[in-house]
Amino acid sequence: MSPLEDPDVLRQAIAVLENWLPPRGRIALGAGRTVEALLPYLAPVFAVRKELVVVSASERTSVQAATVGLPVAWLDSAPCEEVLAADDLDLLLDGADEVDPQLNLIKGYGGALTREKILAGAAQRRIYVVTPEKLVPVLGTRGRLPLEVMRFGWHWTKRHVEAALATVAELRRDADGQPVVTDNGQYLLDCRIGPVAQPAELQRRLRAIPGVVEVGLFLNLADEVLVLKHHGIRLLSRAVNHSDNS
């Protein structure tokens, strides 16, 4: 059983996260399995802190958050625009697909990387929750880097991404073989990569290719990473990255 399926582990995670949740304010949620697993356990906290509102990187997560009773500002609504136009978001809670020792990340396996990066940039504090297999010695260890790309001219963009990386970039498809379309209406490329020695330079090169909307490298964005384990919660921070709440 994964820690994400263990109610005791999820309750412990919420107990740690409560220390960072303000009594009122704007909370950003990423997309994906980790955030979805935490939502039912966040609901009692929001029931007490009634002046908290959430904005999510994906329509799916927004629906699930609303279903469990969280107050949601919808991404395409006027209230949400007011949230994003006001002061910075107070806190971001998200998952990650790879975390290196410097707390740099690869994200995008869930497909919401562009919106997740916008929310990360807008948040005063960014907390990522992962399971132990997501910790890697160097980014690229799991062999996959997602990109969001424009649908218009995506074949051309794909060729130039492959040339820049000297590797294969595959259009992400669903179970029926159709291209996966993001909430932004764009496509996803999954690039086969090895260990990345210079992630900032790689990000710069990929962003320079016309048609690349965003790169799944999240560099210098994580403030804390919570590692969920069956025997406790490990807290990694940019300053001190080896504490345990067991």
CATH number of the structural domain spanning residue 31: 3.40.50.1360
Measured in degrees and rounded to the nearest 5, phi and psi for residue 168 equal: -100, 135
Structurally, the chain folds into a number of domains equal to: 2
* Residue 102 sits in the same domain as residue 201: no
User: Considering only 13-17, 45-49, 131-135, 218-222, which range has the smallest mean pLDDT?
Assistant: 45-49
pLDDT at 87: 58
- The reply to whether 199 falls in a domain is yes
Residue 112 shares a structural domain with residue 158: no
Whether 116 is catalytic is yes
- Residues 150 and 175 occupy one common structural domain: yes
Q: Both ends of the chain: CA-CA distance in Å?
A: 19
Quick one: 154 and 93 in the same domain?
Answer: no
Do 111 and 53 fall within a single domain? yes
Half-sphere exposure of residue 149, counting CA atoms within 13 Å on the CB side?
30
Give the C-alpha distances (Å, rounded to integers) separating 134 from 68, 104, 125, 230: 27, 12, 21, 15
Determine the average pLDDT of the residues in 115-130.
96
CATH number, domain of 173, equals: 3.30.70.260
Percent of the chain predicted with pLDDT > 70: 91
Q: What is the pLDDT of residues 38-81, one digit of tens each?
A: 999 999 999 999 889 999 999 999 999 999 999 998 655 555 55
Name which residue leads in pLDDT, 238 or 213. Answer: 213
**Same-domain check for residues 74 and 108:** yes
- Which residue range(s) make up the domain with 210? 144-215
| Residue 207, CA distances (Å) to 127, 141, 150, 193 in order | 25, 21, 12, 16
Say whether both 22 and 131 belong to one domain.
yes
118 half-sphere exposure, CB direction, 13 A CA radius: 14
- Closest by Cα among 99, 105, 101, 129 to 30: 129
Report how far residue 23's alpha carbon sits from residue 114's, in angstroms, rounded to the nearest whole number: 28
Percent of the chain with pLDDT over 90: 84
Question: Does some domain include residue 1?
Answer: no
Q: Mutual orientation of helices 33-48 and 7-17 as an angle, nearest 10°? A: 60
Identify residue 89 by its one-letter amino acid code. L
| Active-site pick, 5, 36, 59, 116 | 116
Q: Are residues 27 and 129 in the same domain?
A: yes
Residues whose CB falls within 8 Å of the CB of residue 64, separated by 6 or more in sequence, listed in order: 36, 39
Q: What is the pLDDT of residue 50?
A: 86
Give pLDDT, residue 243: 46
Do 85 and 192 lie in one domain? The reply is no
Question: Per-residue pLDDT for 85 more than 70?
Answer: no
Q: Could you give the C-alpha distances from 163 to 107, 146, 156, 206, in angstroms and in order?
A: 22, 16, 11, 10
User: Do 206 and 230 fall into the same domain?
Assistant: no
* Joined tokens for residue 72: 């949601």
Give the chain's mean pLDDT: 92
On whether the CB atoms of residues 53 and 46 are closer than 8 A, the answer is: no
246 pLDDT above the threshold of 50: no
pLDDT digits (tens, 9 = 90+) for 145-196: 999 999 999 999 999 999 999 999 999 999 999 999 999 999 999 999 999 9
Check: CB of residue 65 under 8 Å from CB of residue 56.
yes
Sequence letter at residue 37: A
